[in-house]
Amino acid sequence: MIVALLFVVSTLNNADRAILSITGTEIQNDIGISDVTLGYLFSAFSWAYMLAQLPGGWLVDRWGARRVYAGSIFLWSVATLLQGVVPVFGIGSAMIALFVLRLAVGLAEGPAYPTNGRVVATWFPASERATASAIFNASQYAAPVVFTPFMAWLTHSWGWPSAYYVMGVIGMALSVCWWAGYRQPREHSRVNRIELDHLIEGGALVDIEGTVETGTPPALRTWTVVRQLLSSRMMIGLYMGQFFITTIVYFFLTWFPIYLIKQLGMPLLEAGFTASIPALFGFVGGILGGLLSDALLRRGFSVTMARKIPIVAGLLLSTSIVACAWTSTRTVVIVLMAMAFFGKGLGSLGWTVVSDTSPMEAAGLSGGLFNTFANLAGITTPIVIGYIVDVTGSFDAALVFVGASGFAAALSFLLVVGRIERVVLKGAER
């Protein structure tokens, strides 16, 4: 039930941040903005989201997953709904309002993935974490499968503001579901002694919130923790790898439907349904990556090998997206995209490694720092691709850029990360 909650919330999270990719061409027609300006609108979310990661991680460490996540979901959903109102401001002011509200969504979503990583570390033993993390991380593919055709239909049938209204209302209802359904393992009415013992024996951090309630030692205050994490080669390699992985993610969340419309000439509805096909393969790859990693761990492989084998293999496969630059045949493009996103899904175990490596005293903060580096790519990717398309009039160079990022991510995990083990903070023994 816990991993199902994480999956549903994360699916909505990814859908709300990607909604502009579906409504973008209609907004361009209404407001008259260029590809470069649209790229900046895409990146507005990530500026705020990146800056909110460390505060979001601190909030969940301080106040717990139940309260923080419920508030986060509600606030980003209100900001999503309000984006549908911006046409009343007129053309010039509407773009400013949309930019500000995209910033608001990013700020409100800040605690989301640090909370996911913390919940997985709390509720799952080491031998099950990759599968649990893969399930919630596969939400980035489930969102296009479930919501992209739905949002495209709303936009086509009722106008682009309707997509924002509907998604906002769904999110506000989901915040209530999270509040009602989530508890810590020792507090959950459906957890019996056998399950609790299974979690503890397997290394689940079931008492993680108690570490904050008893007071955080001075040596473990926020910036001290950040400095210690940044001094670890393993963590630096993890941050680098996730930055390049997130470059691929943000191409898919922002420019991919527009690529289908502008370069392949698809109508909006067709693009919405077509975008869900590679996403479905990415979803399957994501789940298989987690299952494979946990299976390797149970068969005696070290944590390092069990995590790195699917990560590196999957990321190398993701580079097949480059071949799309040399074809305009729709079927071939979709097959190559499906291969690339299957590979990217297979290699998306970054949050599993966060659960494996985060210090118990600062699991939320560690996840926030990880996601800060990852979402630098959310700022750079939409803007870089916007300039490439504006200057060249084509997505070909952008596809090469995305494929090269997959290769760089594989090298980061292969050559920089080294041995994967939990970080022990200096001062934790006090």
* Digit-coded pLDDT (tens) for 230-281: 888 999 999 999 999 999 988 887 788 888 888 888 887 787 778 778 888 9
Q: Once rounded to an integer, what is the mean pLDDT over residues 89-117?
A: 83
Is 421 a member of any domain? no
> What are the two backbone dihedrals, phi and then psi, of residue 420, each rounded to the nearest 5 degrees?
-95, 120
CATH classification at residue 401: 1.20.1250.20
d(C-alpha 168, C-alpha 79), whole Å: 8
User: What percent of the chain clears pLDDT 70, i.e. is strictly above it?
Assistant: 93
Is 192 a member of any domain? yes
What is the structure's pLDDT at 229? 87
Is 402 a member of any domain? yes
pLDDT at 212 over 70: no
d(C-alpha 194, C-alpha 293), whole Å: 25
Q: What tens digit of pLDDT does each residue of 29-54 get?
A: 777 777 677 777 777 887 888 888 77
What is the structure's pLDDT at 123? 86
Is 424 a member of any domain? no
Number of domains in the chain: 1
What is the structure's pLDDT at 91? 66
Is 285 a member of any domain? yes
Q: Which residues contact 164 (CB under 8 A, 6 or more apart)?
A: 19, 23, 80, 81, 82, 83, 84
393 C-beta neighbours (distance < 10 Å), count: 11
Is 422 a member of any domain? no
Q: Which residues contact 93 (CB under 8 A, 6 or more apart)?
A: none
Q: Which domain holds residue 296?
A: 2-416
- Local structure of 137: helix, strand or coil: helix
Model confidence, pTM: 0.71
Both ends of the chain: CA-CA distance in Å?
36
Lowest average pLDDT, out of 181-185, 266-270, 285-289, goes to 266-270
Q: Token pair for residue 265? A: 């000439």
d(C-alpha 408, C-alpha 55), whole Å: 29
Is 423 a member of any domain? no
Is 253 a member of any domain? yes
